[in-house]
């Protein structure tokens, strides 16, 4: 049985800060009121300084009392402000610790599903499947011929074709040479009696290739 009545609820940092700030507002109003009273008593003392010293002295006494209350009030406000800052810092630290604890619990839960052996097994499976994929790719890229071609045999066949092409070229050149027209023999002595000139037959116009062949034939006749 609780001898002190109902158990108090757990204090809340936010509620405490709100309550302390409300108290500061109240103290500010009290401070403003005291300052007004101090100003009034000082004004009264100045007005009666030469006329009624008794009233002036009483006003100064009240002013001193109000100033004492103001000094205590200022110290109280300073204490409350310090407490507010302390609670705010403590609340920030508390929220930070909660966040860190949540992160730590999350990591612990994640790592509860993982360990070094499991990670090694997963990586081994990945490497194995990559090796299988590479083997499949190499198998697909292989040629589909029944057997590989002999490079030496292909080179020999190519040389034979080149020799046949050269032989055909030489044969065509020989045929062109044998088909060239023979030039008439040029007499080496003058006739005893000059014959009347015969009409000259117009020579056919030769193109460049035929002219070159005729010149070649003439040089060979010499």
Successive 10-residue mean pLDDT values, the chain, 222 residues: 58 86 94 95 90 90 94 94 93 91 88 80 89 87 63 81 84 71 54 52 56 59 50
Whole-model pTM over 0.85: no
In a domain, 68, yes or no: yes
In a domain, 59, yes or no: yes
Distance from C-alpha of 92 to C-alpha of 105, rounded to nearest angstrom? 20
In a domain, 149, yes or no: no
Q: pLDDT digit string (tens) for 113-164? A: 777 888 888 888 899 999 999 888 888 877 665 556 677 887 888 888 888 8
End-to-end CA distance of the chain: 152
CATH number for the domain including 85?
Answer: 1.10.287.1060
Indicate the number of domains in the chain.
1
**Torsion sign, CA atoms 135, 141, 147, 152:** negative
DSSP 94-124: HHHHHHHHHHHHHHHHHHHS--HHHHHHHHH
Angle between helices 13-47 and 53-112 (to 10 degrees): 170
In a domain, 27, yes or no: yes
In a domain, 218, yes or no: no
In a domain, 163, yes or no: no
In a domain, 91, yes or no: yes
In a domain, 62, yes or no: yes
Provide the domain limits for residue 83.
13-117
Nearest to 13 by CA among 78, 86, 65: 86
């Amino acid at each position: 049985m609780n001898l002190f009545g109902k158990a108090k609820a757990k204090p809340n940092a936010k509620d405490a800060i709100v309550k302390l700030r409300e108290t500061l507002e109240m103290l500010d109003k009290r401070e403003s009121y005291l300052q007004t009273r101090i100003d009034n008593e000082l004004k009264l003392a100045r007005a009666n300084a030469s006329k009624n010293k008794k009233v002036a002295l009483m006003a100064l006494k009240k002013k001193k009392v109000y100033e004492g209350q103001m000094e205590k009030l200022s110290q109280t406000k300073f204490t409350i402000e310090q407490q507010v800052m302390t609670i705010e810092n403590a609340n920030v630290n508390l929220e930070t610790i909660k966040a860190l604890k949540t992160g730590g619990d999350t990591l612990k839960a994640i790592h509860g599903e993982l360990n070094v052996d499991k990670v090694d097994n997963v990586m081994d499976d990945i490497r194995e499947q990559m090796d299988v994929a590479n083997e499949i790719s190499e198998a697909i890229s292989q040629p589909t011929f029944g057997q590989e071609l002999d490079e030496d045999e292909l080179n020999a066949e190519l040389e034979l074709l080149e020799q046949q092409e050269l032989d055909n070229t030489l044969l065509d050149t020989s045929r062109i040479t044998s088909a060239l027209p023979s030039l008439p023999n040029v007499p080496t002595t003058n006739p005893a009696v000059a014959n009347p000139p015969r009409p000259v037959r117009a020579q056919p116009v030769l193109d460049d290739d035929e002219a070159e062949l005729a010149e070649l034939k003439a040089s060979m006749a010499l």
